[in-house]
Amino acid sequence: MNFLEKYGLKIILILFLTFSYSITAESKKLLILGDSISAGYGLKESENWVQLLEVSLKTSGKELQIINSSISGDTTIGGLSRIENDLKQYRPNYVLVELGGNDALRGYPIDKIKHNLIKIIDVSLEAGAYPIIMQIRIPPNYGKNYIAAFESIYSEIAQEKSIPKMSFLLEKVALDKDLMQLDGIHPNQKAQKIIAEQVKKELLNIFK
């Protein structure tokens, strides 16, 4: 029995395990801390943009494990109350913060919303997770001054904390009734692929 016949199978097994470990070791985790838009309100889990994003990234050769910690109706204070536990439990490399819409719809003070978002980002940084903030927009019936003040906090935070800011999730679908549910607030099933591709493109630019 020659060397390859005697040890060939063991060598192949070792190489396979080493390769498998390297893939696992290089796989990054993204925690999405969001509200109903990311939670997939009114949709099956498999239809949600988050699920579509993970599959699309994998197809493109980008291994990214996505943990969707989004809750319908959640506010910035809700996200702040659970971010520490999420960070300890999942140990993500990145945290995408998609919160603030429900605060604004309830007329919460702008400075309080901003404070909560900054605190979420600070807690993430302290845990070694790289935060990304997502722009949030609200309907035009909340008054120009409030809307302008609210929507500007995302650029302000991105600049103050030197972190990336991503486009509003509904940027390409909100004005198309065919892509929205009857409530006019949540995207429907047809919109999910559009959202997933938008997020994928921006994430790939961030991860370069």
**Residue labelled with tokens 């929507």:** 151
Residues recognised as catalytic: 36, 183, 186
Give domain limits for the chain: 28-206
Q: What is the DSSP string of the chain?
A: --HHHHHHHHHHHHHHHHHHHHHHHH-EEEEEEE-HHHHTTTS-GGGSHHHHHHHHHHHTT--EEEEE---TT--HHHHHHHHHHHHHHH--SEEEEE--HHHHHTT--HHHHHHHHHHHHHHHHHTT-EEEEE-----GGG-HHHHHHHHHHHHHHHHHHT--EEPPTTTTTTT-GGGB-TTSSSB-HHHHHHHHHHHHHHHHHHT-
Write down the CATH number for the domain with range 28-206: 3.40.50.1110
The predicted pLDDT at position 131 comes to 98
The predicted pLDDT at position 25 comes to 40
Please give the model's pTM, rounded to 2 decimal places.
0.86
Q: What is the pLDDT along the chain (208 residues), one digit of tens a residue?
A: 554 455 454 444 444 444 333 334 458 999 999 999 999 999 999 999 999 999 999 998 898 999 999 999 999 999 999 999 999 999 999 999 999 999 999 999 999 999 999 999 999 999 999 999 999 999 888 899 999 999 999 999 999 999 999 999 999 999 999 999 999 999 999 999 999 999 999 999 998 8
